[in-house]
Amino acid sequence: MNLLFVADPLETFKTYKDSTYAMMREAQRRGHTLAACEPRHLHWQSGGHVSAHVRRIRLTGQEAPWFHESPLAPAQRLAALRDFDAVLMRKDPPFDSEYFYATHLLEQAEREGARVLNKPRALRDHPEKLALLEFPQYTTPTLVTREAQAVRDFHAEHRDIILKPLDGMGGMGIFRVREDGLNLGSIIETLNRHGEQSLMVQKFVPAIAQGDKRVLVIGGRPVPHCLARIPQGGEVRGNLAAGGKGVAQPLSARDREIAEALGPVLAARGLLLVGLDIIGDSLTEINVTSPTCFQEITDQSGFDVAAMYLDALETALRENTRA
């Protein structure tokens, strides 16, 4: 297969933990060819197809340089997305306006015959904080609002709450307010910009002390191990980007229940790879843009997550060909 990864700049990859790198490595091991571009390299012109200036690469197996790029003239680098066997959208959040525009270009590429995963429309339809609203039976009490008084009322009811922006990533902008309500007003003003921006509020789940679990679902099926991201040093955030410690562990019965309920639903919508965030028994986020933790889970548990992903990708492409 000829694969195109739409991702962040290759030079920024931390290969020892990058899940996109793990996908590339397994794909190359299977004999597939690799190309990469950034969302800014996508373009469309009337009378033509959605195309990109791509980099044809081969992994070296070394820490540095970790890839070799085939020297190509500018005209040779231009490629139509429809000419690849699969286009893998792996750009990290934030889901900003440019990410949104990229999904529209990718959806046009689909109309021209490209196979894009995760599906662009599904990326737009499942914002990572709000996607859980469809599955309230699995969540902790949650509020989405712009109204300061609604947040105060929620705090009065639940006493210990978490507040976070809808467009945050890596634990950015997350606050905990305990029963004393200290700084609640200031935090609301910071997050909702005096009523101009929506925020999410959730009842605090004490089980965060045992970790914010990333449960990966591939092709509708859960990976048998998750990564519990455990807060360190008095932090309330378990995110690895915020200093959390990642510990791989088998799925609990509740983890598996949630993953098996949501997995087939989301896969049917074109979401080949999903990352569920579960604290204790409660679903807190559904990540679809660029789910991570492949290498941490594989290194600690021995379960090859990248191989499971490539199996699912190859199956999806075969089924698409038959259709």
Determine the Cα–Cα distance for residues 279 and 218; give it in Å rounded to an integer. Answer: 20
Q: Which long-range contacts link 40-49 to residues 24+ away (Cβ below 8 Å)?
A: 40/98, 42/6, 42/81, 42/102, 42/105, 42/106, 43/105, 44/105, 44/108, 48/80, 49/80, 49/81, 49/82, 49/109, 49/112
Instruction: Tell me if residue 287 is catalytic.
Output: yes
Q: Which of 237, 239, 255, 296 is catalytic?
A: 237
Instruction: Tell me if residue 237 is catalytic.
Output: yes
Q: Which of 214, 239, 255, 296 is catalytic?
A: 214
Instruction: Tell me if residue 192 is catalytic.
Output: no
Q: Which of 26, 38, 212, 277 is catalytic?
A: 277
Which helix (H) or strand (E) segment holds residue 146: the answer is none
Instruction: Tell me if residue 58 is catalytic.
Output: no
Q: Which of 229, 239, 255, 296 is catalytic?
A: 229
Q: Which of 164, 203, 213, 296 is catalytic?
A: 164
Q: Which of 91, 129, 203, 213 is catalytic?
A: 129
Instruction: Tell me if residue 277 is catalytic.
Output: yes
Q: Which of 55, 56, 287, 296 is catalytic?
A: 287
Determine the Cα–Cα distance for residues 228 and 249; give it in Å rounded to an integer. Answer: 7
Catalytic site positions: 129, 164, 214, 229, 237, 277, 285, 287
